[in-house]
């Protein structure tokens, strides 16, 4: 029996995402509008709405739908906002951000991910998201953003990420040491970054942002 994607999408939202305190109607609408099944690896299409991370190439993964929902809600996006996404992955979160904001710049270090995500976004009719192939730790956008979504974990927050936020800008990032990491909403108040703890999780690290190896005798 083939999966009814529309029923599965509705169940994901009502049984997973909403009970995890994702109540922003614009976020729920974006999750309902973007076809998640078109952004997963073909082999995992039937698992697109499962409550688990889905593997991608290069040891990467798509976050669980509940984490994606909390990320989108934490940014508090307005229709006129400019957004930076660090880590395009499959392009699903990119597509959701594009539903909520004016413009999205997404950076991804794997060229095959960039090419695939561009194709998926074009197929979905999304024209306000641009994907660049770049390493976030060796890149400079030359501008600031209203919001930044970091889709991979960092052991400590790179200083540059904070500088890329406009005053009043919001960032979602997962920080700490696996297997117990902390999802944070960070707001730039003048020259200070104010962090609010949201929940505990465990996701792969951004390339170059993992904890330094610790050796003991």
Establish whether the linkage from the previous residue to 179 is cis, with ω within 30° of 0.
yes
CATH fold for domain 5-201: Rossmann fold (3.40.50)
Percent of the chain at pLDDT above 90?
94
Report yes or no: 43 and 186 within 8 Å, Cβ to Cβ: no
- Residue 191 is predicted with a pLDDT of 84
32-83, pLDDT tens digit by residue? 999 999 999 999 999 999 999 999 999 999 999 999 999 999 999 999 999 9
Residue 125 CB partners (closer than 8 Å, separation 6+): none
Write down the pLDDT at residue 216: 57
Which are the contacts of 38, defined by CB distance < 8 A and separation ≥ 6?
Answer: 120, 123, 124
pTM over 0.85: yes
Among the listed ranges 84-88, 142-146, 213-217, which one has the minimum average pLDDT value? 213-217
pLDDT in tens, 150-175: 999 999 999 999 999 999 999 999 99
pLDDT > 70? residue 95: yes
Reported as a single tens digit per residue, the pLDDT across 117-132 is: 999 999 999 999 999 9
Please compute Rg for the chain using Cα positions: 17
pLDDT band at 214; cut points 50, 70, 90:
low
Residue 129, classed as helix, strand or coil, is: strand
Percent of the chain's residues with pLDDT above 70 = 97
Kind of pairing between the strands at 145-154 and 129-133: unpaired
Partner residues linked to 108 by β-bridges: 133
């Amino acid at each position: 029996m083939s999966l009814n994607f529309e029923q599965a999408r509705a169940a994901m939202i009502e049984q997973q995402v909403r009970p995890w305190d994702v109540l922003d109607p614009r976020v729920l609408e974006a999750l309902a509008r973007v076809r998640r099944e078109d952004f997963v690896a073909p082999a995992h299409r039937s698992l697109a709405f499962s409550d688990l991370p889905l593997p991608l190439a290069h040891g990467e993964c798509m976050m669980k739908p509940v984490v994606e929902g909390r990320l989108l809600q934490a940014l508090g996006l307005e229709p006129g906002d400019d957004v930076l996404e660090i880590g395009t992955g499959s392009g699903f979160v990119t597509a959701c951000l594009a539903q909520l904001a004016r413009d999205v710049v997404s950076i991804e270090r794997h060229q095959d991910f960039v090419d695939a995500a561009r194709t998926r976004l074009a197929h979905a009719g999304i024209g306000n998201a641009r994907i660049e192939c770049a390493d976030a730790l060796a890149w400079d956008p030359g501008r600031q953003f209203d919001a930044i979504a970091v889709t991979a974990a960092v052991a400590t927050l790179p200083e540059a990420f904070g500088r890329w936020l406009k005053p009043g800008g919001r960032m979602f990032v997962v920080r700490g040491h696996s297997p117990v990491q902390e999802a944070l909403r960070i707001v730039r108040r003048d020259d200070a970054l104010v962090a609010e703890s949201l929940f505990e999780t465990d996701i792969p690290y951004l390339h170059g942002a993992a904890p330094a190896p610790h050796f003991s005798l």
